[in-house]
Amino acid sequence: MTRLFGTDGVRGLANKKLTPILALRLGQAAAEVLTGDRESFGRRPLAIIGRDPRVSGEMLDAAIAAGLASRGVDVLRVGVLPTPAVAFLTDDYGAELGVMISASHNPMPDNGIKFFSAGGKKLPDAVEDRIQKTMDNIRDGGPTGTKLGRIITEATVGRERYLKHLKSGVSTDLSGITVVVDTANGAASKVAPQAYAAAGATVIPIHNEPDALNINDKCGSTHIEQAQQAVLEHGADLGLAHDGDADRCLAVDAEGNVIDGDQIMAILAVAMKDDNDLRYNTLVATVMSNLGLKIAMKREGITVVEANVGDRYVLEELDKGGFSLGGEQSGHVVLPSACTTGDGTLTGLSLMARMAKTGKSLKELASVMTVLPQVLINVPVSNKAVIMDNAEVKEAITVAEQELGESGRVLLRPSGTEEIFRVMVEAADKDQASKVAGRLAGVVASV
């Protein structure tokens, strides 16, 4: 069976790979798998559906809603909201499942569908596989009359509940801080500027006028140069850049320097340790996080637990260890006490709260860690499965690790979606990192 679900839901070109018929069947199958023992509810099950503003979202929203309702699930459509808002509302409403329609940072023609279970939790692989298998057995017909689900559209209430939640999560007064916010013409175009302003910050929004076609178009976290330029033009204290569904946040300091997810995690980890909020003095990062993060955290007395790449694996480690902070270099930051998935707006609020509490600039706060030069080479290969078992590759890795010592790191891993092997090398010197990475890539390519 070819797996339908990827690392973050079902994603593809809208109306080609990701069709309304597929969305309808996904909704029907998710209803069967995620609504459990309905006899014990005393009511029809409830699903929350949100989306980003790309044009195909309206079509897919309607199809999924129809699929859910046809299997006896009531549907609350909350309109354009960030992914973490849908996760929060799924829990807040006591819904049996949530659905977010978004392709995150992908270009406008793409779209995606991701599900949350009760409590706003991402689905494990096994449950996604059950949904896919159930799709193959969906039959025509279903409940009728009073047992059909109802579909209600109510965007304002959901947005207000989410904004109230954000305000309760970070109550620090941000007055005196001027922030540029690039919302990528995406799902946070309204709520992120509103949340920052409600906390007291002076907000300069850019790319916050979605027209269904311009999401992620040369803006947002994948084009952070836009935020850099705006920060310098306006003399702002910092800039924040979100992606299309606003589950990630990257930052820019007052001098226009990019502050990535590793640096943001370092800042927040130290802040939470100071406030006795960093459980077990532990941060969960991924294997792709910069070695400089580990070095800084060791100096600060903070343990770093490594997860596989992907925020779902960060979430698994957070849940397993009962930790209170985790994330990725890409800007996905998870604060389990306030959210069940990465929340870019909450990350931005937390970062500015640290600035307000300490009176320090973002550049000063980010200096807690030194980012080591990192070189990544994507090597096309014919068979990913044999690379790490190859004797020449093993020998090349051993030589590289000996050469770098404790001041560097080597990581080789397969792409999850392509016949590509990723070769990543970190070192104190960029020339050395490039030299070692090039040598390793050559060995991998020869296999």
The DSSP secondary structure of 278-323, one letter per residue, reads SGGGEEEEETTS-HHHHHHHHHTT-EEEEE-SSHHHHHHHHHHHT-
Q: Is 247 annotated as a binding residue?
A: yes
Separation between Cα atoms, residue 352 and residue 179, nearest integer Å: 9
290-303: buried (b, 16+ CB within 10 Å) or exposed (e) per residue?
Answer: bbbbbbbbeebebe
Span of 30-39, 219-228, 280-289 with lowest mean pLDDT: 30-39
| Residues of the chain above pLDDT 70, percent | 98
Question: Residue 278: left (phi > 0), alpha (psi -120 to 50), or beta?
Answer: beta
Q: Tell if the pTM clears 0.85, that is, is over it.
A: yes
Catalytic: 104? yes
pLDDT, residue 21, reads 97
Active-site residue (options: 102, 104, 117, 289): 104
Q: Enumerate the CATH 3.40.120.10 domain ranges in the chain, comma separated.
A: 10-160, 170-366
pLDDT at residue 367 above 70? Answer: yes
Chain centre to alpha carbon of residue 159? 19
Q: Report whether pLDDT(332) > 90.
A: yes
Mean pLDDT of 337-356: 96
Q: How far apart are CA 182 and CA 194, in angstroms?
A: 13
Q: What is the pLDDT of residues 42-77, one digit of tens each?
A: 789 999 999 999 999 999 999 999 999 999 999 999
* Token pair 């100071």 in the structure block, residue: 274
H helices of 96-211, in order, are 125-135, 155-169, 191-198
Residue 28 has pLDDT above 70, yes or no: yes
Q: Which fold has domain 170-366?
A: Alpha-D-Glucose-1,6-Bisphosphate; Chain A, domain 3 (3.40.120)
Q: Residue 367 — φ and ψ, nearest 5°?
A: -70, -5
CATH 3.30.310.50-classified regions of the chain = 374-446
Classified as helix, coil or strand, 173 is coil
Give the span between the Cα atoms of 89 and 49, in whole angstroms.
10
- The H or E element that residue 182 is part of is strand 178-182
Determine whether domain 10-160 maps to CATH 3.90.850.10: no
pLDDT at 419: 83
Per-residue pLDDT reduced to its tens digit, 165-223: 999 989 899 999 999 999 999 999 999 999 999 999 999 999 999 999 999 999 999 99
- The DSSP bridge pattern shows strands 258-259 and 249-253 to be antiparallel
* CATH number for the segment(s) 374-446: 3.30.310.50
- List the structure tokens of 386: 């044999």
104 appears as a binding residue in the annotation: yes
